[in-house]
Amino acid sequence: MDQDQKLSILADAAKYDASCASSGAKRRDSRSGAGVGSAGGAGICHSYTPDGRCVSLLKVLLTNVCLYDCHYCINRRSSEVQRARFTPEEVVDLTLSFYKRNYIEGLFLSSGIVRSADYTMEMVIEVARQLRDVHDFRGYIHLKTIPEASQELIELAGKYADRISINIELPSQEGLDRFAPEKNLERTQDAMGGIRQRIVEGRSERKAGRAASTRTARGRQAPAVYANGQSTQMIVGADRSDDAAILQRADHLYRGYELRRVYYSAFSPIPSSSTILPSKAPPLVREHRLYQADWLLRFYGFDVGELTAADSLDGGHLDLDIDPKLAWALRHRQLFPIDLNRADRESLLRVPGLGVRSVQRILQLRRWQAVRYEDLRKLRVSLEKVLPFVIVADHHPARQGLDDENLRARFAPPPEQLEFDFGRHNAAAGAALHHAPQATELKQARVSAHSGEL
């Protein structure tokens, strides 16, 4: 099998990883012979570096051969997909040649498990080691690590990578027992704990290095001595876990393991799927709502219980029709309207339609003048969403507007005629990879949730 064929198989297998937020976007290419240039060559995706830059990455698996049999994964042992395997040297060559041609700025490397977790981890690390130590590669490297590998190897991966991640897969051990019997939640969290510890130590070592370099060469920044963040992803809709369970696990990981990101990936149908998976893929909007709720947990001061309260429309699940902050506000109408000229930051962040940046601008603006309707218009917030919930100098919503039973209906999409398609989901199953669950059309929506004003 030549390198192009391997690349096409192993890049395709890697596309299910949700950690590269924009990688599901449709891109133009000239492979049909028409036009010039390709924006989406095999295995090239976009990701965001810790400093916020968007970079192109070669996103590929070392191999899609796997000893494990996770039911939701297209590369599981019992799957009938075509298999391929790169040597570490081949991945190094590909990365360097793409890098020199300016196609990519870094590498995103994952792998199925061959021989043993340690052996696989050593191969993955070998790619990063050769790139850094032999070729002095300064580009971005994201390595997916295997929780079953030894702690020393996981730590070593972080020495070469800018970002490392371990996929938690499902929020409960019960789910793992059923869908990924070789996996263990506690072991995964232990591995995350080890990485966290090393990241913290690396930060201190870097600070110390920076202080030393200040004395010798002012302004020179000390290089990172360890990966500066870890992330994970969870598959949504493969097991019975509700949104509350998924968000509780995410919240636990953010608080206990200092994760940079938890990615949510709705499982989607794949060929020759396992029969124990649900026959239908979950609505893709569920994944989008989870990203919005995740944002609210991290930046808006909400806790999981508030977003998935038992009194919510569908206890334990987020409302699919409206965003979770609006759903919360509609359940707590007695707390509104909020006076934008008086309320503190925490209260302003709870107003539907006001994002972190808008709140910041409102707080700055009101130091000089009273906030008025025109100011909200200039902030380009959704007036339809914001106005029923706020008071400004020249706008005071009628109380009965807030109490209006039809308020929710104003924001929810109109009901749709359901279509019955009995054949479509019969072959349904989840596609994922321990390091790489599903690509979905909602990746675009994910991106907007990442930066959106809720």
Chain residues binding ligand SF4 by CB under 6 A are 66, 68, 70, 73, 75-76, 112-113, 180, 432-434
CB-based closest residue to ligand SF4: 434
Residue 434's contacts (CB-CB under 8 Å, 6 or more residues apart) are 68, 70, 73, 113, 144, 146, 167, 169, 180, 183
Compare residues 9 and 454 and give the one whose CB is closer to ligand SF4: 9
Compare residues 68 and 160 and give the one whose CB is closer to ligand SF4: 68
User: How far does Cα 219 stand from its chain's mean position?
Assistant: 34
Closest CB 114 distance from ligand SF4, rounded Å: 10
Closest CB 67 distance from ligand SF4, rounded Å: 7
Compare residues 59 and 434 and give the one whose CB is closer to ligand SF4: 434
| CA geometry: angle 278, 283, 285, nearest 5 deg | 150
In eight-state DSSP terms, residue 131 is: I
Closest CB 116 distance from ligand SF4, rounded Å: 12
C-alpha to C-alpha distance for 12 and 34, rounded to whole angstroms: 23
* CB distance 167 to 437 below 8 Å: yes
Compare residues 56 and 63 and give the one whose CB is closer to ligand SF4: 63
Closest CB 169 distance from ligand SF4, rounded Å: 7
Compare residues 72 and 336 and give the one whose CB is closer to ligand SF4: 72
Closest CB 68 distance from ligand SF4, rounded Å: 4
Compare residues 6 and 434 and give the one whose CB is closer to ligand SF4: 434
Compare residues 125 and 149 and give the one whose CB is closer to ligand SF4: 149
Which of 292, 454, 335 lies closest to 386 in space, CA to CA?
A: 454
Burial class (CB in 10 A: 0-12, 13-18, 19+), 58: buried
Q: What are phi and psi of 76, to 5 degrees?
A: -60, 160
Q: 230: helix, coil or strand?
A: strand
C-alpha to C-alpha distance for 243 and 119, rounded to whole angstroms: 36
Half-sphere exposure of 344 (CA within 13 A, CB side): 3
Closest CB 91 distance from ligand SF4, rounded Å: 17
C-alpha to C-alpha distance for 224 and 78, rounded to whole angstroms: 41
Closest CB 294 distance from ligand SF4, rounded Å: 22
